[in-house]
Structures are given as structure tokens and as C-alpha cells.
Amino acid sequence: MNSSQAPKDIVFNGQKYPCCASLTMGVIGGKWKTVILYHLMEGTLRYSEIRKAMPTVTERTLSLQLKKLETDGIILRSVYYEKPPLKVEYSLTPLGKTLIPVIQAIANWGDSVID
């Protein structure tokens, strides 16, 4: 960016961000969003499978984070009504799949720190 130009706010889903790094952290930042995305990298999971993979997250927090990721277009929530019990599955959207290299890099960094 030219230093004589004022920075422009970046708008994503109605939310303003001061820079692209802030946007990225706004979408995947926090304690649980990246963990959710990490588990969804391999494919579609039911709510109960995500819950089992993340035993320390509260039900409320998990639900809120899933809703936020869905609102941001990162994950897709599919509800199946065919037969009881209700079946809800989550998967990465095409936009969400573009985050796989980022999530994998974060996971790799974590692996390198514990080695």
C-alpha cells in the first residue's frame, strides 16, 4: 500500500476490519473456531461427533461457534428430517476449504512445538 493513502476498511459479512489479517482472525480466531475447522478438514461430521472430538467445549459455546462459522459462509449445516432422531451434519463450504492450508499450518506449528 502506498504510504500516502489512508487505509481502507475491509468489509466482510457486514463487519468492518482494518486489515486482511484482522479479517482472517475475525473469521477463524478465538479458542474454538480453528479447532472445529481442524476436525472438519477430513470431511462431514455430525454435531455429536464434533462434540465428542472437543470434550472440553460447552454445548452453548460449540453451538454459537458453529452458527458464527455458518453465518460467515465457512461451514455448511445440513439438517435431515427423514426419520427421528433429527440428523444435523456440518461440512466445509468451498470458501471454508480454502482455509485448509491455513489450519494445517497452524496444526503443523503446534506439532513442531511439542517435538
Q: Each residue of 48-80: pLDDT tens digit? A: 999 999 999 999 999 999 999 999 999 999 998
Who contacts 49 (Cβ-Cβ below 8 Å, separation ≥6)?
none
Q: Is residue 52 part of a domain?
A: yes
Q: Is residue 81 part of a domain?
A: yes
HSE of 83 in the Cβ direction (CA atoms, 13 Å)? 0
Q: Is residue 21 part of a domain?
A: no
Q: Is residue 64 part of a domain?
A: yes
Amino acid identity of residue 69, one-letter, is: L
User: What pLDDT band is residue 9 in, cutting at 50, 70 and 90?
Assistant: confident
**Residue 1: what pLDDT?**
47
Q: Is residue 19 part of a domain?
A: no
Q: Is residue 10 part of a domain?
A: no
pTM of the model: 0.86
Q: Is residue 14 part of a domain?
A: no
Q: Is residue 78 part of a domain?
A: yes
- Total number of domains in the chain: 1
Average pLDDT over residues 85-93: 92
Q: Is the pLDDT of residue 2 over 80?
A: no
Beta-carbon count within 10 A of 53 CB: 14
18-27, 41-50, 81-90, 106-115: which range is least confident on average?
A: 81-90
Q: Which residues constitute the domain of residue 57?
A: 31-114
CATH of the domain at 63: 1.10.10.10
